[in-house]
Structure 1
Amino acid sequence: MTGTQKTSRQVQEEAAAEWDRYADIWDSWTPNDRRDDAEEAADFLAELANGGTALELGIGTGRVALPLAERGVKVSGIDASPGMIRKLREKEGGDKIGIYEGNFADVDVKEDYDVIFIALATLFVLTTQEDQVRCFANSAAHLNPGGRLVVQNIVPDLTNYQRGRYNDFDTTAPFRVSGRLAGHPSMAWFEMNTVDPTTQTINRTDVIVSEKGNRIIAATMRFAWPPEQDLMGRLAGLELEGRWGGWHQERFTFDSLNSVSVYRKPTE
């Protein structure tokens, strides 16, 4: 291990501190938003699981896990944030979800599953390529033969970060500001992102204005292109079974904004 490489425990602690700050407002981020696709995701995953078992990496407040459990799938999840887990436990049906607290790159669980899934670009929360590769490998190790790893991601579009396109600031790095109402008219959520394309790193600052008060939260993410993600799958011994532009199995094309990729573990 190099002197700058963090241990899995350090990564988990930093993630817990970072994402705990989102816990009490996270469910306001998706209602009335085009990304609120939990029911569609649950339908897609339930068909793959076929009444079996599923594990969500980065389960958060259970946005997808809870409707998936309602479809007869035995669901478990991993998350580093005690705050997110607490919110999940408070929801109806949350006590029926098996929860592991930890760094989801480790996939430190005792069972094997028919489906392991990562929703809403959560793979990008792992901020190094090494951790993302390790996540794929550990997921493959906990899949039953013929099981699937399902990864939903945004498709990176660096034209959103061209200098001067979205702002008039004199910055020396690709920069973007976006804002929208989040879930209800009493909250506004502004995202300010700076991107380093050489490391595929996004340094993100969220400014959240609401009647409960204002807050500023910083987060770091690392995006991965679909071909890079496919290589992670091959290194883990998984086969790309299919890729779509969304949970409705829309055709994946050059202008797709999202991807849903299914990787299958061979039976032999």
Structure 2
Amino acid sequence: MLTAETKKFRFRDKSLTLGERTYIMGILNVTPDSFSDGGLYYQQKEAVNRARQMLAEGADIIDIGGMSTRPFSEPVSEEEEIKRLIPVIKEVRAENPYAIISADTYRINVAEKALRAGADIINDVSGEFKHLLAELIKDFDAGWIIMHSGGVPSGEFPIYEKGVVREVADFFDDMLEKITAFGIDKSRVCLDPGFGFAKGVEENLQLLKNLATFKKEDIALLVGVSRKRFIGAMMEEVDPTQRLEGTLAANFRAVELGADIVRVHDIAEHKRFFKAADFLLRKG
């Protein structure tokens, strides 16, 4: 049984109380090539409309990205990423002063522009500690999502000599040591095991089954399994848009094992689902 804690994930002048309930992070890809929704919200007008819809459906965080990180995708130029991302952040922030906005980027210059445009959190999928990004997090009092990405080119799978669970746990310990040594409070950090990043179906299942290994009492834990390939393998479903039930099942197990935030495409369905699931897990 999960119990409410007084620990918080802090960013700017906002925060989320850990253990209180499951928080829904909505995925907003301002890209033409993301794996399940590429092109749907590529234009600024469509992206902002989708953000409005997400907030109306109950999203706690809007995670906006301007470059696909799907397997085998080619990175776009920094200029193109800025062109896609920053106007959307600015407009969403102007309409919603109290909304929680996350910028999905690992580039320093893009992160700075996103924070200046109104982002609260940087969702960093680089899998490495960067002093310049740490300085930005510190200067802006921003939140920092730290993801394990495997340290290999997109689409490749490394050999996890110690096993994927131990490798990810060691990565988190190393990153937290560097972050705290830099003077950033752990309450501004959120950990993400990086489902689907340099990991095959078996590795992803091992991460999910052993998710409690990564749960630290005073640090937020995020999972991003929505519509991913290993969900399709579990369901025997090749169409990413038809993987809702598998995503809900995996996210329920993740929250049961300690996840605080679920990053998803289907906001309304997860909001309704976790209204009941949280009652069972946290209040029942």
TM above 0.5, one fold?
Answer: no
Normalising by structure 2, we get a TM-score of 0.32
Bigger Rg, structure 1 or 2? 1
Normalising by structure 1, we get a TM-score of 0.33
Greater share of helix residues, 1 or 2?
2
Greater share of strand residues, 1 or 2?
1
Identify which of structures 1 and 2 has the higher relative contact order when contacts are C-alpha pairs closer than 8 Å and 6+ apart: 2
